[in-house]
Amino acid sequence: MSRISMRNVKRFALIGVGIVAIVVTAFAGSVIAGERATVPPEVDPLMRRVAIFLEDGEWDRAEEYCDRILDIVPEYAPAYIGKLCAELKINSEEDLANHTEPLDNMPHYQQALRFADAAYRLKLTSYNRSIQRNREQQVRESQRMREQASRHAAYIAAGAIHVVALQSNGRVIAIGDNRGGQINTRDWRDIVQVSAGVFHTVGLRRNGNVLAIGDNGQGRCNTNDWRDITAVAAAGDHTVGLRKNGRVIAVGLNDYGQCNTGDWRNIVAISAGHRNTVGLRSDGRVVAVGWNGFGQCNVSDWQDIIAISAGEWHTVGLRSDGTVVAVGNNGSGRCNVDNWRDIVAISASSTHTVGLRSDGTVVAVGLNDWGQCNVSNWRDIIAVTTSNGAEHFTVGLKSDGTLITVGNNAAGQLNIGHWRNIGPSSRRR
């Protein structure tokens, strides 16, 4: 010891202080980052209990044990994630990646990010990115399904007691009541859309011209001079056409102003009800004219709508998020669509409402006196339509080009089990 100079003593002292400082700094950094090295040993068994509770669906117990952990280590990020899983009723942390809603604004997730170390924070943000990617994919898929459903809807139509269908070769077949000649469509060619009123049938040709046959009372079939039409809609006593420039033309009975569409602009879809006409604008807003005795024209506050359907006494709109809104007469619950989700197409009749889900199943509400709402067992459906009048029935187009029906068969209009090749051939491979 006598050989150690004072200078060396000071040097060793400084080195010792530096080592202590490094250790303290590392420990402090570990605490701030939430490294597991700082977690007391009693936390691990509690956290394992949390995992078991979550797996068994014991949400309250899982949250209770997370709180016990946070009483010991308030900055323990996994405990906040445990509380989040319990709140969302998710069985494990990894399953957060499959949640339907982003996690960003959820308090427990925010707290976990606040206290997580770099590696755990990266893991948590990956869950949220996975959710966002899934949502984007679902939005794209839903949009694709809605566009397909919209196109497929052009291939089937139902009148009061007749059914019309467009085959893949552009020819039209029809069955049912023919008192006005409304099913005499055998000589039609090059048709791209059909629509059926109560006692008349309308067909849109590929060149933008329009054919109409059947009862021509009030001039509802006077469409011979129509040009540049991209969509047609037939109701009981009037017919509506959408022009290529977004303007709308209408002929037929106009006792309630249902044909007063001359000032409409930027319309992308149309639907005709009993005494009213509804138009969808390119900005997702909806306009309506005609009789409003049940409030079926009260659609001016609707937004983000992508499809419309006018029944006899009510109007239905499909939002871009797959939910549905309805106004008008709610007799028999035909407007009770608030809980519908993942819908890609809609159809409203005089007494019931039908929705097509993206998975090809169908839902229906309203009067079911003829079984027209008995569609819960339908599968692989790509388009739906409902009767346009007093006889109540529902028709579905299947992906194999055949039709399925339920409801009143008063004129044999549902005897279509032998029909084939309905819709565009490109979808059947």
The tens digit of pLDDT for each residue in 19-44 reads 333 333 332 333 333 344 478 999 99
Encoded tokens for 315: 């109007």
pTM: 0.73
Q: Which two tokens stand for residue 244?
A: 């290529």
pLDDT digits (tens, 9 = 90+) for 390-422: 789 999 999 999 999 999 999 999 999 999 999
For residues 240 and 261, the answer to whether their CB atoms sit within 8 Å is: yes
Q: Which residues contact 32 (CB under 8 A, 6 or more apart)?
A: none
Distance CA 288, CA 327 (A): 12
Residues 6 or more apart in contact with residue 87 via CB below 8 angstroms: 59, 63, 106, 108
How, if at all, do strands 286-290 and 276-281 pair? Answer: antiparallel
More confident residue, 286 or 137: 286
* Residue 1 pLDDT grade (very low, low, confident, very high; cuts 50, 70, 90): very low
How does pLDDT run across 333-368, given as a tens digit for each residue?
Answer: 999 999 999 999 999 999 999 999 999 999 999 999
Task: For the chain, list the domains and their CATH numbers.
Answer: 6-143 (1.25.40), 155-427 (2.130.10.30)
* Alpha-carbon distance values, 120 to 66, 125, 132 (Å): 17, 9, 19
Q: Cα–Cα distances in Å, from 242 out to 32, 262, 404?
A: 65, 11, 29
Residue 148 has pLDDT above 90, yes or no: no
- Model pLDDT, residue 35: 42
Token pair, residue 160, equals 């009061």
Mean pLDDT of 68-73: 96
For residue 45, which phi and psi values (nearest 5 degrees)? -60, -35
Mean pLDDT of 288-303: 97
pLDDT given at position 429: 36
Q: What is the pLDDT of residues 229-275, one digit of tens each?
A: 999 999 999 999 999 999 999 999 999 999 999 999 999 999 999 99
pLDDT of residue 93 exceeding 70, the answer is: yes
The overall average pLDDT reported for the chain is: 89
- What pLDDT, on the 0 to 100 scale, is given for residue 38? 76
Q: What is the per-residue pLDDT for 137?
A: 85
pLDDT given at position 158: 96
The pLDDT, as a whole number, for residue 376 is 96
Q: What is the predicted pLDDT for the residue at 375?
A: 98
